[in-house]
A and B are shown apart, each in its own frame.
Chain A
Amino acid sequence: MLLAIDTSAGTSVAVVDHRGHVLAERSTDDTMRHAEVVGQLIEDCLREAGLDAGALTGVVGGMGPGPFTGLRVGIAAARVFALGASRPFLPVISHDAIAWGRYQAGHTGGLLIVTDARRREVYWSAYSGSDAAGLPVRSDGPGVAKPDVLLGEDWAHARLPRFDAAAVSAGELGRVAARRLFEGHPFAADEALYLRSPDVTISAGPKRVSR
């Protein structure tokens, strides 16, 4: 039984069993209120699934890519929930959850997943298809780019069918994790995928005040 949390777009929380059945899922598309809603969504999902934390076998965190401020809330919540419940933390790349959803819905072959990175940029991940277990096989990315880069003829993944997602489902994230556990596939690195350095400029020294 897995608790899954993703805040790479809105906030989504789910409880998924080891066979990938979603027992509860609660989400909001609001991209500004991650810290406000995350606690209640976790509590609601556990209640709806009829579980307490002790019944979980792991906590899945969506590692992004996603806009930083929101992304961090879910990763912090998932890591600390895992610590509090003494269960392993299972990091999954958020785009894998979107790709999983497409393949489950019948898509086959190559796929480009695109999400909003704000500041007039997008995050992208390229997939070559799904493996025998149904898990999406990421061939490149995640990356961040100006939208017109993706539209350029000469871009490496320009020919892939493209899917733009506005939300990431924690249910799908949890199902990816459940399948990975079942197949014995490794998880992603436990690091937030910001894909951008913090914007800071190194000071050139104090400015003159007198003229």
Chain B
Amino acid sequence: MNRLDPLVLGIETSCDETGIGIVRGTTLLSNTIASSMEEHARYGGVVPEVAARAHLEELVPAIHAAVAEAGIRLTDLDAIAVTSGPGLAGALMVGVGAAKALAVALGKPIYAVNHLVGHVGADLLRNGAEHADEPLEYPTIALLVSGGHTSLLLVRDLVSDVELLGETIDDAAGEAFDKVARILGLPYPGGPEIDRAAQGGDPRAIRFPRGLSRPKDMALHRYDFSFSGLKTSVARWVEQRQDAGETVPIADVAASFREAVVDILLTKAVAACVDLGVPRLLLGGGVIANARLRALAEERTTAAGIALRIPPLSLCTDNGAMIAALGAQLIIAGHEPSTLGFGADSTLPVSEIQV
């Protein structure tokens, strides 16, 4: 096996994207994604069984497409990497079963990895991107925000030392966007819809609550998030206007809601950087596509003297390339492959980088 620049295929099926990525070391060769998002739109959120069925149908075409795009043969691979968790159990199992079969068929080692740590690993794949030659420095704080997770991590080393500082105690931030979009009569997925609706709205029009920010919450949940109270508060505000026969100022509600989410995310992320003396913040997850989040992150980190890193957006959403990248880093660091008995772990702790 090439341990300096390993050629790795990564399989990611933790939520609604079937991701197949191929990397050589830190060079991205393919980031193939088949999403079942449209099938979930009529339900207003990801339906696990629908996602799992879609993974089964998309896997083989996605592997074909990735191999073709990368211009390699499967037999050239040094290893297979796969998401073991966290995520939707039934969806993860499809990827785990497939990855093991591929590894045995090819006689290649397999690396079962943590999805959240994969989001951090995405930052290593920067061919052609800005700051391409500045490697990720440690330690770094990582804020990972998507429809499935909202987590704040302290990464001392990508392959050996990742600690969970905090996470959402109820809804993920992306879920809050979906739910508030529904309240406002907007379609799924909510993130881009809220963004569009917020254009021209006043983010200070309505002061929606920032979850877990009061002193007693901060004592217990300093780096945790909560979005369900915010969602309820938006719903109540909208209902009051409707009951009074007034028009709901959608742009103001959307802008004010988005500001509440983005504000609390960055307040806590920057606080973690300051408290722990870590002047680096990395963002990951599908919600990073939100322009207001990126703009406020720039503003707040610049003011606090924190270096901000945002991987290319195509690598922020769930994808197999980040899983392959993490697998490659484990190989480069000399880690042994996973044994074939691992499973899908829907609640895999972030400290378990490799299973």
Contacts and interface: CB of A to CB of B under 8 A. Distances in A.
B56 A72 contact: yes
A99 interface: no
B32 to A, nearest CB: 14
A76 B98 CA distance: 5
Interface in B317-352: 340-344
Contact of A38 (B44, B90, B101, B235): B101
A201 B45 CA distance: 11
A210 B98 contact: no
Contact of B53 (A42, A72, A73): A72
A77 B97 contact: yes
A75 B103 CA distance: 16
Interface residues on A, range: 35 or more
A146 B42 CA distance: 29
B183 A72 contact: no
B90 A43 contact: no
Given A36-B343, A37-B341, A72-B94, A80 B101 contact: yes
A192 B60 CA distance: 14
Interface residues of B, number: 48
B161 interface: no
Given A37-B341, A72-B56, A198 B47 contact: yes
Provide the main secondary structure of the chain B interface: helix
A157 interface: no
A127 interface: no
B102 A80 contact: yes
Given A72-B94, A84-B105, A198 B53 contact: yes
A210 B239 contact: yes
B38 interface: no
Nearest to B97: A73
A37 B104 CA distance: 13
A183 interface: no
A109 interface: no
B34 interface: no
B236 interface: yes
Contact of A69 (B74, B93, B232): B93
B154 to A, nearest CB: 30
Interface in B230-263: 232, 235-236, 239-240, 243
Contact of B341 (A40, A46, A199): A40
A185 interface: no
Given A35-B93, A37-B341, A39-B100, 17 more contacts: A7-B97, A35-B100, A52-B107, A68-B90, A74-B97, A76-B59, A79-B59, A79-B60, A80-B59, A80-B97, A81-B101, A83-B63, A84-B101, A192-B53, A206-B182, A210-B236, A210-B239
Interface of A: 5, 7, 33-40, 42-43, 46, 52-53, 68-69, 72-81, 83-85, 192, 194, 198-203, 205-206, 208-210
